[in-house]
Structure formats: C-alpha cells, structure tokens
Structure 1
Amino acid sequence: MNILDTIVAQKKKELQEIKEKVSVKELQYYRHFSSPVTSLKKSLAENTEFPIIAEFKRKSPSKGNIHIDANIKDVVKGYQLAGVSGISVLTDTQFFGGSNEDLSDARDLTSVPILRKEFIIDPYQVYEAKAIGAGAILLIAAILTKEEARDLAALANYLGLEVLMEIHDMQEVEKLNSYVDMVGINNRNLKTFEVNLEHAATLASALPDDILPIAESGIHSARDILFLKEAGFKGFLIGEYFMKHDHPEKACMNLKEELIKIQV
C-alpha cells in the first residue's frame, strides 16, 4: 500500500466518525456556509504579475515536519500583503498537521480566495468545505473514478465552490469534466513523491483550452515559474518552499521581488 492509499484509508475512517457527530444539515447552519466567496480562477487570471496560490501546511508524508509550529494568522496576513492570488490550506490533521479550524481562521483573516487542500472522496467533505469557509476545493483524480470526480465537482459548483482537479498523467485527463474550473498538474508523483517539472510541461499540452492550468509542487525559484509559464501554465501552487522558512510570508514576498526582477 502506497502513501496515497494509506491516506485514503484513514480518510474513510475519519469520515465515519465525523458523520456521526455532525450531519450535512447541521453543516448548512455554519456561519460560513451562506457567505459569498470570491473566485480563485478569476483572481489567478487577473493577477498576471504574481499568479501564486500560497500554501499553508505544517508537515507532509514526504518531508516530515516542515514548520510544525507555524501560526496561521501570521502566515495568511503575510501572504495577502505579498499579493498572492489565492491561499491553499491543508485541513488533513494526521499527515499534514492541518485542521478545519486553520481554514476558518484564514477565511476570517483575508478576502483572498481560499482553496481547501484535502483528500476529498465523499460529498460530505464538499459540504464541509463550504461550511468552514473555502471558496474552492481540490479533487485528486488519482483517488476518484471518472463518475465520482464528475459528481463531486458538480456538487461543488452547485454549492458555489470552484474546483481545482489535480492530475498526474495522461490517463487522468479523461476524468476532467465541465464542472472543473482549474486543473493542477502535480510535479510530484503522489505514489513515489519524485518531482519532475519536465513531466508537468509535457502534460500541460494535453489540457483543454477552457480550463486554467496550474503547476503544483517542486517549485523553488522564479526561474522554475518562468519555465512553467513558457510551458503554458497560468497559476502556480507553492507550499513547501515558503513553509520551510522561519517566516513563510517573507519568503513569499522575496519570491515576488525575484520574479519581477528577472521579468523586467
């Protein structure tokens, strides 16, 4: 069993427990459920200077503890000041050190669009995403059938959420559907955790023209961003590079300055 299978198995156990505590009907009474959300896709398209989704995560299965004591409030405020297009918040606790509270706190702190980064396999998690304040959700093609991906994306749209679907190879392109707003190509293989920017660039050429392409993982410099921009990417999700610094928000600002400088 690879790490992705392990995470999904754990997620199924967690879902059984949480469904017994909080129903979908109760989620719809959460204060964020009826709140308007801003478009992540629009934010990325309009912010051509810095189309970055900056991520907040404390650890990962591949890297272990990255910034285990990171303060969501300090980081989110700093990301907004840096002018990011969106903020991604990991809500998985066991493997990434996140929580639903992290995302709700982020929502209260910023007007920047927020992506819920989670291993979503059940409609309950889509309702939950809306309830805790997300404006967009991540769907991972590798853990969903084509039908599951369509149904979860359709539900997200129905609830007013945008969908970023993550793919890793050419076979997963067929799981894209009309409810998907953005497609993320993960430069890191979730089964082996190897990173390959060239692979992402090749896969980008197979994407539909109407879905905004986003590069994920393994981005560590302005040069990486320029390489991926030339390959057709319009957005970039960066987490580990920022979070490994003592002050992730400062690393984000420094990257922006570096990117502006080499594009002049």
Structure 2
Amino acid sequence: MTILDKIIEAKKEEVAHQKQVVDIEVLQDIPDFFRDCNSLKENLLKAGSSGIIAEFKQRSPSKGDINLSARVEDVTKAYADAGAAGLSVLTEKNFFGGSQANLIKAREINPDIPILRKDFMIDPYQLVEAKAYGADVILLIAACLSKELALELAEDAKELGLEVLMEIHNAEELEIVNDFVDMVGVNNRNLKTFDVSVETSVELSKLIPEKFVKISESGLAGVKEIHYLREHGFKGFLIGETFMKTQDPGKACKKFIQQL
C-alpha cells in the first residue's frame, strides 16, 4: 500500500465521521457559503502577477515536521502583503497537520485573496465544506480519482462557484482532466519515490491544452526555476516548504517575489 493509498483510506473514514458530526445543511447555513469567490485564475493571468501561490504547510509525509510553531493568521497575512497571487492552506490533518480551522482563520484575515483548500477531495460533501469555510479553489488529484468521480466533483464545484485545480503527475492522468477544470497543476514530486524534478512540469506542459492555466507544484526553490517554467507557459507556482522551513515564511516569500 502506497502513502497515497493510506491517505485516501484515512480520508474516507474522516469524511464519514464529519458527515455524522456536521450535517451538510448546517454547512450550507454558514455565511461564507453565500460569498462570491475570489478568482485565482484571474489573479494568475493579470499583467504583472507574481504567479506565486504561497502555501501554509506545517508537516508532510516526505519531510516530517516543517514549522509547527507558525500561526496561520500571521503567515498567510504576510504572504498576501508580500504580493502572492493566491494562498494555499492544508486541511488534511493526519499526514500534513492541517485543519479546517486554519482555512477559516486564513479567510477571516485575508478576505480578498483567493485561497485554495489543499486536501484530498473524494466526496461532494468536502466541496460544501470548502465553500462554507472560506475556500475559493479546490484541488482534485487525478492520481486518486476515477474519471467519473473527477467529473462529478469538478462539475459540483463549479455549481458552488468554486474554481477547480486538477493536479497531475504524468501524461496518462491528463485523460481525467475535464471541461469543468480551470487550472491544471503539475506536481513535480513522484508520489511513489518522492523524487522531485521541475522537468516533469516542462515535459507535461507540451501536452496540457492551452485553455487551462498551468501551475507548477513542488520542489520550486529558486527564482531561476520560476523564469524557466514561465518560458514553458506556466502562470502559477505553488510554493510551501521553501517558505515554511524558514523562521519567517512571510519574509522569505516577500524576498522571493522581489527577486522575481
């Protein structure tokens, strides 16, 4: 069983539990459920956009603990002030140390910047959660979804006013990308070996249809990599660990964007 298999098994149990604890009608009564979402796609396409999607992540299966003392309110506010085009907030708790509370706090202090709910989405219930707790964008990971489920979730997300980022790792997973997707993200990390290479983004960029905004994810540590990926059509760059492993993630993000 791979780490992804373990994550999905745990996620199924978590979602089943959440459905018992918080009824979907309760989520649909939360004020943010009626909020108009901020567009990450538009922000990435704006002239002069940094393209940086700055992530709040405190731990990961590959790196272990990264920055457990960081406060989501401080870090995400600093990211936004630094000129990030969007924020990404982990809500997966068992393997990444994330929480719904972090998403809620990030939204409260950053009302006008797009926020991606970074999690393993396998059930329409999670989409309602995402909207109710303040997300503007949801992540769909092709590696853990059937073509049918990916289509259902993407379509449901659009009906809720959410944008959809579909993450792929190889050419075969492009078959799961559908017309309800706004952005296609290439994860440069091999989920089986955890090896990272930006060349994964470069190779797959040739295969991604132009109608999708391209985002590169994982292993982006330097400004040179961003310029290199821009040459291959990428508009968005999801960066977490590079910032989070420092004492002051917001300051690291600001310095990075200034160098761009």
What TM-score does the superposition give when structure 2 sets the normalisation length?
A: 0.98
1-side partners of 2:208 and 2:44: how far apart? 17
Q: Which residue of 1 aligns with 2:228?
A: 227
| Equivalent pairs, count | 259
Asked whether the 8 Å contact 1:47–1:85 carries over to 2, the reply is no
Deviation at 1:232, TM superposition (A): 1.4
Q: Which residue of 2 aligns with 1:90?
A: 90
2-side partners of 1:191 and 1:29: how far apart? 40
Deviation at 1:98, TM superposition (A): 1.0
The worse-fitting range, judged by mean Cα deviation, of 6-15 and 42-51 is: 42-51
**Residues 30-45 of structure 1: matches in 2 within 5 Å?**
30-45=30-45
1:195 lines up with 2:196 in the alignment:
yes
CA RMSD of aligned residues (A): 0.9
| 1:181-219: CA deviation from partner (whole Å, max 9, x where unpaired) | 000000011222110111210111100110000000000
Q: Which residue of 2 aligns with 1:212?
A: 213
2-side partners of 1:11 and 1:48: how far apart? 38
Q: Which residue of 1 aligns with 2:255?
A: 254
**Residues 36-115 of structure 1: matches in 2 within 5 Å?**
36-46=36-46, 48-110=48-110, 111-115=112-116
Asked whether the 8 Å contact 1:141–1:172 carries over to 2, the reply is yes
Secondary structure, aligned partner of 1:32: helix
Deviation at 1:77, TM superposition (A): 1.1
Deviation at 1:48, TM superposition (A): 3.2
Asked whether the 8 Å contact 1:166–1:183 carries over to 2, the reply is yes
**What runs of 5+ residues in structure 2 fail to find an aligned partner?**
none
What TM-score does the superposition give when structure 1 sets the normalisation length?
A: 0.96
Q: Which residue of 2 aligns with 1:130?
A: 131
Q: Which residue of 2 aligns with 1:5?
A: 5
Percent identity for Structure 1 against Structure 2: 51
Secondary structure, aligned partner of 1:234: strand
Query: Does the C-alpha gap of structure 1 residues 165 and 145 become closer, same or farther in structure 2, counting only changes over 3 Å?
Result: same
2-side partners of 1:204 and 1:256: how far apart? 23
**What runs of 5+ residues in structure 1 fail to find an aligned partner?**
260-264
2-side partners of 1:74 and 1:118: how far apart? 21
1-side partners of 2:54 and 2:47: how far apart? 13
Q: Which residue of 1 aligns with 2:16?
A: 16
Secondary structure, aligned partner of 2:117: strand
Deviation at 1:21, TM superposition (A): 1.1
